[in-house]
């Protein structure tokens, strides 16, 4: 039975249509398993000269030499840069020296170091006068990644993106914390996946199959002002979600997208992240209407993930 739902946090409309899952093709072949490291991988240790000069690192060694645990370099093909257009900065955070260790395969300390570096680089660019910082992870070719070596990215902008302004407006109109509301709605619909430090859940109005939302119940508006303890709890939940998704769906590509507020905006907000496995197939209907079709009811997705042993 189909049901029209609205994601009350984002305003997205979705039709939950479980019958669509009986179509011959519902999930794309979207493996994110790294192959053996190619000899020309620019993110592997020993190849530091293949990237632009690094701007930050965690770990030992001199700049642009091996010894690092996390390494940050300007993106060689930036969405924006600090040149003549002055639109912002685009950086790559190389998550690990290991070519074949995605976020959920790292130790908690090593994975937390990645998100701490993302926080610190966001803070660096905002302190320097940019307006908004967008941290995200693309893993696997269908996610938008062009290099398979595990990495995250940060795009800092000189303007507030329209979607961010829309989310801030929704919070302001509501007059309450929409993330907390979303957690409560997820609990009412049995959509919670995990509640320990950070909460993870399948949003009841989720627009794509098996998307997992993660938030700290008492987080502030800005990711770049998170404490180390908060990021450790958050990282643990991200790793848990990815492990459950991989155990359930196989070697899928995925995105981790952090939704944060601009520092200068005084409207209320509560930062969170969405972990989106790239398994859904969408087409002309979605593109033509802005209405998503989700063939896996979020309640079913959450129950499956809860029952999965990571």
Where are the chain's structural domains? 3-34+48-307
pTM strictly above 0.95: no
**In contact, 298 and 260? CB cutoff 8 Å:** no
C-alpha distances in Å from residue 60, one per residue of 65, 71, 72, 91, 192:
9, 11, 14, 21, 40
Domain 3-34+48-307 = CATH 3.40.50.970: no
Which pLDDT value is given to residue 29? Answer: 47
Render pLDDT for 57-98 as a digit per residue (tens, 0 to 9): 999 999 999 999 999 999 999 999 875 567 899 999 999 999
Residue 24 has pLDDT above 50, yes or no: no
Helix runs in 175-227, H state only:
178-188
Which pLDDT value is given to residue 34? Answer: 54
Render pLDDT for 217-234 as a digit per residue (tens, 0 to 9): 999 999 999 999 999 999
Render pLDDT for 163-189 as a digit per residue (tens, 0 to 9): 999 999 999 999 999 999 999 999 999
Residue 259 has pLDDT above 60, yes or no: yes
Which pLDDT value is given to residue 280? Answer: 73
Give the C-alpha separation, 299 to 177, whole Å. Answer: 22
pLDDT band of 120, cuts 50, 70, 90 = very high
Least confident among 39-43, 68-72, 108-112, 129-133: 39-43
């Amino acid at each position: 039975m189909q049901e029209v739902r609205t994601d009350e946090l984002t305003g997205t409309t979705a039709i939950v249509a479980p019958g669509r899952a009986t179509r011959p093709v519902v999930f794309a072949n979207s493996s994110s398993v790294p192959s053996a490291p190619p000899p020309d991988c620019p993110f592997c240790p020993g190849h530091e000269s293949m990237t632009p000069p690094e701007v930050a690192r965690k770990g030992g060694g001199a700049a642009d030499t091996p010894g690092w645990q996390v390494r940050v370099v300007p993106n060689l093909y930036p969405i924006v840069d600090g040149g003549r257009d002055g639109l912002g900065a685009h950086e790559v955070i190389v998550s690990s020296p290991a070519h074949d260790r995605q976020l959920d395969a790292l130790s908690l300390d090593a994975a937390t170091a990645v998100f701490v570096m993302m926080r610190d680089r966001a803070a660096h660019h905002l302190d320097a006068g940019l307006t908004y910082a967008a941290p995200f992870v693309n893993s696997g070719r269908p996610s938008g990644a062009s290099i398979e070596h595990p990495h995250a990215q940060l795009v800092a902008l000189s303007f507030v993106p329209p979607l961010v302004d829309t989310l801030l407006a929704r919070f302001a109109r509501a007059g309450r914390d929409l993330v907390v509301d979303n957690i409560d709605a997820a609990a009412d619909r049995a959509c919670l996946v995990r509640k320990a430090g950070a909460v993870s859940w399948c949003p009841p109005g989720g627009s794509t199959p098996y998307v997992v939302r993660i938030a700290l119940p008492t987080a502030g508006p800005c990711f770049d002002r998170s404490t180390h303890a908060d990021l450790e709890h958050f990282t643990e939940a991200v790793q848990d979600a990815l492990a459950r998704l991989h155990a359930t769906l196989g070697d899928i590509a995925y995105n981790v997208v952090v939704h944060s507020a601009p520092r200068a905006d005084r409207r209320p907000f509560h930062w969170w992240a969405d972990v989106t496995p790239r398994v859904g197939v969408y087409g002309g209907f979605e593109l033509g209407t802005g209405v998503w079709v989700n063939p896996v009811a979020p309640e079913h997705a959450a129950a499956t993930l809860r029952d999965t042993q990571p």
